[in-house]
Structure 1
Amino acid sequence: MWYVYLLESTAAEGERYIGITTDLKRRLVEHNAGKSSHTSKFLPWRIVTYMAFSNQAKAASFERYLKSGSEHTFANKRLW
């Protein structure tokens, strides 16, 4: 399975991150261990929402959609 996930910093209000992985638990541990340059400044992180996809291409497409301008409308109303 492929997971598109939305993280929110518990220390820095308003800091959010969207990612994709095949191992959600491992990836959250990596984020909270500071192994991602994009998230290391705002530790710790918590999972707000995640979606599972059986197809990598569909998961990657959904991640790109959430990171696009459309995310502000859809994700802010439905996922955060």
Structure 2
Amino acid sequence: MHAVFEREVLLERRQYTSEQSTLWDKLSLAQKFATSSLTQFGYDLAFIRSSKAGKVAILRCESKTATISDDGEIDTSPSIVIRP
């Protein structure tokens, strides 16, 4: 019974809202792979920040933040400020 509940929770977490789906479509292939690996640890895609250097995906997990560069490089201790 417990295993069934855990599976349902995992399946529920994998369902994206339309906003997350739109963000997902804007990620590079490398960012999609990196994002998938971080979602296994509870991170959710929050938004994408664009600049001259490229797109940076911002993921949140409770009070933690991670970034993923255009080329898929993950930074779990980024020096960014996120407004509330």
TM-score, normalised to structure 2's length? 0.24
**Structure of larger gyration radius:** 2
Structure having greater relative contact order (Cα 8 Å, sep ≥ 6): 1
